[in-house]
Amino acid sequence: MAIYGENVKVAVTAMMQLATLDKNNVASLSTLSKNESLSVSFLEQLFSKLKQNNLVNSKRGINGGYFLQKSAHEITLFNIIEAVESSTKITRCKKGSGGCLPGGHICSTHRLWRELERVNKIILNSISLKDLINGRAKDLSSIITISNLQTGAKE
Protein backbone atom coordinates (compact mmCIF):
# COMPACT_ATOMS: atom_id res chain seq x y z
CA MET A 1 0.00 0.00 0.00
CA ALA A 2 1.05 3.57 -0.47
CA ILE A 3 2.60 5.38 2.42
CA TYR A 4 1.32 8.90 2.85
CA GLY A 5 3.17 11.74 4.51
CA GLU A 6 2.54 14.45 7.04
CA ASN A 7 0.28 16.35 4.62
CA VAL A 8 -2.29 13.57 4.76
CA LYS A 9 -2.15 13.19 8.53
CA VAL A 10 -2.60 16.92 9.10
CA ALA A 11 -5.31 17.27 6.45
CA VAL A 12 -7.35 14.38 7.88
CA THR A 13 -6.99 15.73 11.43
CA ALA A 14 -7.99 19.25 10.37
CA MET A 15 -10.95 17.95 8.36
CA MET A 16 -12.10 15.95 11.38
CA GLN A 17 -11.98 19.15 13.44
CA LEU A 18 -14.07 20.98 10.85
CA ALA A 19 -16.55 18.12 10.75
CA THR A 20 -17.18 18.40 14.50
CA LEU A 21 -18.15 22.07 14.29
CA ASP A 22 -21.75 23.16 14.65
CA LYS A 23 -23.43 23.72 11.28
CA ASN A 24 -22.98 27.52 11.16
CA ASN A 25 -19.49 27.68 12.69
CA VAL A 26 -16.11 27.99 11.02
CA ALA A 27 -12.56 27.34 12.20
CA SER A 28 -9.73 29.73 11.56
CA LEU A 29 -6.34 28.46 10.52
CA SER A 30 -4.83 30.04 13.61
CA THR A 31 -7.15 27.96 15.81
CA LEU A 32 -6.33 24.79 13.88
CA SER A 33 -2.66 25.74 14.05
CA LYS A 34 -2.75 26.00 17.85
CA ASN A 35 -4.69 22.74 18.24
CA GLU A 36 -2.16 20.76 16.19
CA SER A 37 1.03 22.79 16.86
CA LEU A 38 1.51 23.52 13.17
CA SER A 39 2.47 26.61 11.25
CA VAL A 40 -0.33 28.65 9.73
CA SER A 41 1.58 28.79 6.42
CA PHE A 42 1.65 24.96 6.26
CA LEU A 43 -2.11 24.87 6.88
CA GLU A 44 -2.67 27.59 4.25
CA GLN A 45 -1.00 25.37 1.65
CA LEU A 46 -3.11 22.35 2.61
CA PHE A 47 -6.36 24.28 2.79
CA SER A 48 -5.70 25.84 -0.59
CA LYS A 49 -5.58 22.31 -2.04
CA LEU A 50 -8.64 21.19 -0.05
CA LYS A 51 -10.56 24.22 -1.31
CA GLN A 52 -9.48 23.64 -4.93
CA ASN A 53 -10.85 20.12 -4.62
CA ASN A 54 -14.21 21.35 -3.24
CA LEU A 55 -13.78 19.73 0.17
CA VAL A 56 -13.77 22.97 2.18
CA ASN A 57 -14.95 26.51 1.67
CA SER A 58 -14.08 29.70 3.48
CA LYS A 59 -15.82 32.67 4.97
CA ARG A 60 -13.98 36.00 5.06
CA GLY A 61 -13.97 38.62 7.75
CA ILE A 62 -13.35 38.93 11.46
CA ASN A 63 -15.36 35.80 12.21
CA GLY A 64 -14.08 34.04 9.11
CA GLY A 65 -12.56 30.64 8.69
CA TYR A 66 -13.07 27.33 6.98
CA PHE A 67 -15.95 24.86 6.89
CA LEU A 68 -16.71 21.61 5.08
CA GLN A 69 -18.07 22.02 1.56
CA LYS A 70 -19.88 18.66 1.81
CA SER A 71 -21.25 16.66 4.70
CA ALA A 72 -18.83 14.47 6.66
CA HIS A 73 -20.41 11.26 5.36
CA GLU A 74 -19.80 12.38 1.74
CA ILE A 75 -16.07 13.04 2.19
CA THR A 76 -13.82 9.98 2.09
CA LEU A 77 -10.21 9.45 3.04
CA PHE A 78 -9.46 9.03 -0.64
CA ASN A 79 -10.94 12.47 -1.38
CA ILE A 80 -8.65 14.07 1.20
CA ILE A 81 -5.53 12.17 0.12
CA GLU A 82 -6.18 12.90 -3.54
CA ALA A 83 -6.50 16.61 -2.70
CA VAL A 84 -3.28 17.03 -0.72
CA GLU A 85 -0.90 14.44 -2.19
CA SER A 86 0.79 14.95 -5.52
CA SER A 87 -0.16 11.38 -6.46
CA THR A 88 -2.14 8.47 -5.06
CA LYS A 89 -0.36 6.09 -7.40
CA ILE A 90 1.68 3.16 -6.15
CA THR A 91 3.43 2.58 -9.48
CA ARG A 92 5.26 4.74 -11.98
CA CYS A 93 3.08 3.43 -14.81
CA LYS A 94 1.13 6.23 -16.45
CA LYS A 95 -2.50 5.70 -17.35
CA GLY A 96 -2.89 5.18 -21.06
CA SER A 97 0.86 4.97 -21.68
CA GLY A 98 0.78 1.26 -22.40
CA GLY A 99 3.49 0.51 -19.86
CA CYS A 100 6.16 1.82 -17.57
CA LEU A 101 9.23 0.66 -19.51
CA PRO A 102 10.78 2.22 -22.61
CA GLY A 103 8.83 1.47 -25.76
CA GLY A 104 5.57 1.15 -23.85
CA HIS A 105 6.44 -2.28 -22.46
CA ILE A 106 4.88 -3.43 -19.20
CA CYS A 107 7.12 -4.28 -16.25
CA SER A 108 6.81 -7.74 -14.70
CA THR A 109 4.99 -6.38 -11.63
CA HIS A 110 2.69 -3.99 -13.51
CA ARG A 111 -0.52 -5.89 -12.80
CA LEU A 112 0.37 -6.27 -9.11
CA TRP A 113 0.78 -2.50 -8.61
CA ARG A 114 -2.36 -1.68 -10.60
CA GLU A 115 -4.38 -4.11 -8.45
CA LEU A 116 -2.91 -2.69 -5.23
CA GLU A 117 -3.85 0.81 -6.40
CA ARG A 118 -7.39 -0.38 -7.11
CA VAL A 119 -7.77 -2.07 -3.70
CA ASN A 120 -6.21 0.92 -1.94
CA LYS A 121 -8.75 3.21 -3.60
CA ILE A 122 -11.66 0.92 -2.66
CA ILE A 123 -10.59 0.88 0.98
CA LEU A 124 -9.93 4.62 1.24
CA ASN A 125 -13.20 5.44 -0.52
CA SER A 126 -15.11 3.26 1.95
CA ILE A 127 -14.01 5.27 5.00
CA SER A 128 -15.79 8.59 5.42
CA LEU A 129 -14.89 11.51 7.63
CA LYS A 130 -18.02 10.71 9.63
CA ASP A 131 -16.76 7.15 10.18
CA LEU A 132 -13.52 8.54 11.61
CA ILE A 133 -15.29 11.01 13.89
CA ASN A 134 -17.58 8.31 15.23
CA GLY A 135 -14.68 5.91 15.72
CA ARG A 136 -16.19 3.55 13.18
CA ALA A 137 -13.47 3.15 10.60
CA LYS A 138 -14.53 0.26 8.44
CA ASP A 139 -13.28 -3.25 9.16
CA LEU A 140 -10.54 -3.49 6.56
CA SER A 141 -10.53 -7.29 6.52
CA SER A 142 -14.16 -7.38 5.36
CA ILE A 143 -13.41 -4.86 2.62
CA ILE A 144 -10.48 -6.93 1.40
CA THR A 145 -12.57 -10.10 1.51
CA ILE A 146 -15.32 -8.42 -0.53
CA SER A 147 -12.70 -7.13 -2.95
CA ASN A 148 -11.23 -10.64 -3.30
CA LEU A 149 -14.65 -12.07 -4.06
CA GLN A 150 -15.20 -9.44 -6.74
CA THR A 151 -11.89 -10.13 -8.46
CA GLY A 152 -11.56 -13.86 -7.78
CA ALA A 153 -8.28 -13.27 -5.94
CA LYS A 154 -7.14 -15.70 -3.26
CA GLU A 155 -6.02 -14.74 0.21
Counting the structural domains of the chain, the total is 1
At residue 103, the pLDDT reads 75
Residue 52: inside a domain, yes or no?
yes
What's the CA angle centered on 80, arms 140 and 120, to 5 degrees? 35
Rounded Cα distance between 130 and 27, Å, is: 18
Rounded Cα distance between 147 and 130, Å, is: 22
Residue 126: inside a domain, yes or no?
yes
Q: What is the chain's pLDDT, residue by residue, as a tens digit (155 residues)?
A: 456 778 888 999 999 999 998 888 999 999 888 887 888 899 999 999 999 999 999 999 888 999 999 999 999 999 999 999 876 666 666 655 566 777 777 778 778 888 888 888 888 898 999 999 888 766 656 655 555 545 555 44
- In this structure, what CATH number is given to the domain that contains residue 136? 1.10.10.10
Residue 48: inside a domain, yes or no?
yes
Range of the domain at 77: 6-151
Residue 1: inside a domain, yes or no?
no
Residue 24: inside a domain, yes or no?
yes
At residue 1, the pLDDT reads 45
What is the distance of C-alpha 25 from the center of its chain?
Answer: 23
Q: Which residues of 55-78 are buried (b: 16+ CB within 10 A; e: fewer)?
A: bbeeeeeeeebbbbbeebeebbbb
**Taking the model in full, what pTM does it have?**
0.79
Residue 137: inside a domain, yes or no?
yes
Closest CA to 18 of 9, 6, 27: 27
At residue 43, the pLDDT reads 93
Residue 73: inside a domain, yes or no?
yes
Residue 128: inside a domain, yes or no?
yes
